[in-house]
A and B are shown apart, each in its own frame.
Chain A
């Protein structure tokens, strides 16, 4: 039998949790599906576990991380139908009376839910960093290192190098330094003059809360720690046979080569649009964040009625804005379902919108201070772009010369984007490389169409749909 619910929320990070807390509080019937084993999303990953079992580690994971407990506590104390370890693999609909069917897989069995409203709170992922050798074991993302620290208290040992740019690099470096983990070097790839360019966004950033002060403190701690920092780094390459052994790069044009056991890369984060593109929502290109994002109205509703996107999945805006947007979407849906009156909705929504407006003020500053890479021509022809099918930048440029019309045709030409990750890891780079090679804007080049199932799925799992 298929159960009907008021709202299905996908993702239990700050946006998903705050939406669920809001809807549940006013009597709405909600199911939360999340891939992970515990609530928190990426930012507050395993927060409850750390607080109970490894509380001393909160000291270096930092105050921003600890703040997550406020949301998980409320989330856990309510009787919310939360289903961790659930992978959504398709959404169909709407039917003529406005209902969607959400298919998901959990502990090897597939199930479906029928709902009038969907809130996608699927968050962000780190921008892929295609450099020579980035497929070697030992090369990871900065977020991956944070993830094992939070989830299991597992820390890098041996020679660790962080390379890239973004607030996450600063934050991670602070966490590692506080935990007494040796960082052999930080390779800062922000181009010269980023700070000066960011200054024009300073006034709005200054009233967005304490971000600037926090950032300044993070940068100061890194400087004080004495970790060797190389600046204006270009031409990064990971070298090694069966795992990474060296990283080579240029600092102001001068060549360097360092020994390394773990190379952590980071060039900012992108909305994870896999689900929103499966839903065929209208997406647009953000030049400042260099990524596609789904278009939403001020309540979070997308180009498809009844489908809302909140949090970083709708454009990178951080955890506070995600939380506000979760409440706003939740209140909006509650009113549509007649759980609350318009006036009740407006009191809360207007306040959250104002808070969100102030909070978002930090973004233009951050996006300019830590810009996404734009020198696409610097990606060498031999560099792998599609990790699954091992397709290089040179092969992509070559098919462009032969008349390949865009990312979707590149699949047919090269199998690029057709491997197990289903284009998650190459999508952003393929758009950039093709855009540069074709002399067209990323918006005109577009990106992969996404089809179900969203994740690899066994026939057995699909067959189990009929068991319930």
Chain B
């Protein structure tokens, strides 16, 4: 669980994570903004579908990969928030295939 140190910080940027509006500050990383909104689970593990969240916050673990504005596999810890971003959780790819009997 995380919170902003300065609770009076003006949250002037709005992004959407899986349908939920997340308020952020200019300069926040996408992952940081989502964490500050009380969400620790950002995606599903590729194989098992288990929940995963940010681990390294510096671009090496790839646990914070999300889909941003329709483009998948983006590193949420390296990208800065922009007003109106639509962010989605990535699903376990192999489970999708299994559903189709592949």
Contact = CB atoms under 8 A, between A and B. Distances in A.
B75 to A, nearest CB: 8
Contact of A152 (B33, B45, B73): B33
Contacts of B78: 35-37, 85
A335 interface: no
A394 interface: no
Contacts of B65: 420
Contacts of B41: 137, 242-243
A144 interface: yes
Contacts of B23: none
A55 to B, nearest CB: 12
A354 to B, nearest CB: 32
A125 B58 contact: yes
B51 A144 contact: no
Interface in A56-108: 57, 85, 108
Given A135-B52, A139-B55, 14 more contacts: A49-B27, A85-B79, A135-B45, A148-B35, A152-B25, A152-B36, A155-B2, A155-B4, A155-B5, A157-B2, A158-B1, A390-B46, A390-B47, A420-B73
Shortest Cβ-Cβ A-B pairs, 10 listed: A137-B53, A158-B1, A144-B57, A147-B57, A421-B62, A137-B40, A152-B32, A157-B3, A420-B62, A137-B41
A143 B53 CA distance: 15
Contacts of B45: 135, 387-388, 390
A388 B55 CA distance: 12
B3 A154 contact: yes
Interface string B47-73: 110111111111111110100000101
B28 interface: yes
A43 to B, nearest CB: 11
Interface in A113-168: 125-126, 135-141, 143-145, 147-149, 151-158
Given A152-B28, A389-B46, A424 B1 contact: no
Given A152-B25, A421-B60, A421-B61, A242 B51 contact: yes
B12 interface: no
Interface in A422-464: 424-425, 455-456, 458
A144 B5 contact: no
Secondary structure at chain B's binding surface: helix, strand, loop or mixed? loop
B8 to A, nearest CB: 11
Interface of A: 35-37, 42, 46, 49, 53-54, 57, 85, 108, 125-126, 135-141, 143-145, 147-149, 151-158, 179, 242-243, 261-262, 272, 387-390, 419-421, 424-425, 455-456, 458
B88 to A, nearest CB: 16
A148 B32 contact: yes
| B interface bracket (residues with beta carbon within 8 Å of A) | 35 or more
Contacts of B75: 455
B1 A157 contact: yes
Contacts of A35: 59, 78
A308 to B, nearest CB: 22
Contact of B60 (A145, A148, A261, A425): A425
B56 A154 contact: no
A151 B40 CA distance: 17
Nearest to A53: B27
Contacts of A389: 46-47
A37 B58 contact: no
Given A137-B52, A144-B56, A153 B2 contact: no
Contact of B73 (A108, A157, A456): A456
A130 to B, nearest CB: 12
A242 B33 CA distance: 20
A433 B100 CA distance: 37
24 contacts: A35-B78, A36-B78, A37-B27, A37-B29, A108-B71, A135-B63, A137-B40, A138-B1, A138-B53, A147-B58, A149-B5, A151-B28, A152-B25, A153-B9, A155-B5, A156-B1, A156-B2, A157-B2, A158-B1, A387-B45, A390-B47, A419-B46, A420-B62, A455-B75
